[in-house]
Amino acid sequence: MLTTTYGRKERKRMVKTQNVDTALLDEYIEKSGRKLGYIIEKLGISRQAFDRKRRSVTPFRVAEVYVLCDVLDIPPEDKEKIFCF
């Protein structure tokens, strides 16, 4: 748990982590034949944000996972492997 102080108030927030199987995600990106710029555009995030999410620095949002699965034709069983749900 991470403690953050804002003035006199102290808030506690959970740090979310998500392990992404980068190798399997990269395999699907390559198999799709789509350019990375197109995929990132569909996600509506910057290239830097995608790289942070891919490396598990920040978690993918549920909506982003669904977009990736739709764009890359990832089946449900591999979705669970890639995003460790």
For 16-65, what is each residue's pLDDT tens digit? 547 899 999 999 999 999 999 999 999 999 999 999 999 989 999 999 99
> Does residue 13 have a pLDDT over 50?
no
Fold (topology level) of 2-83 = 434 Repressor (Amino-terminal Domain) (1.10.260)
Stated pTM of the model: 0.74
DSSP string, 60-75: PPHHHHHHHHHHHT--
Distance of alpha carbon 48 from alpha carbon 45, whole angstroms: 8
> Does residue 77 have a pLDDT over 80?
yes
Position 3 scores a pLDDT of 47
> Does residue 1 have a pLDDT over 50?
no
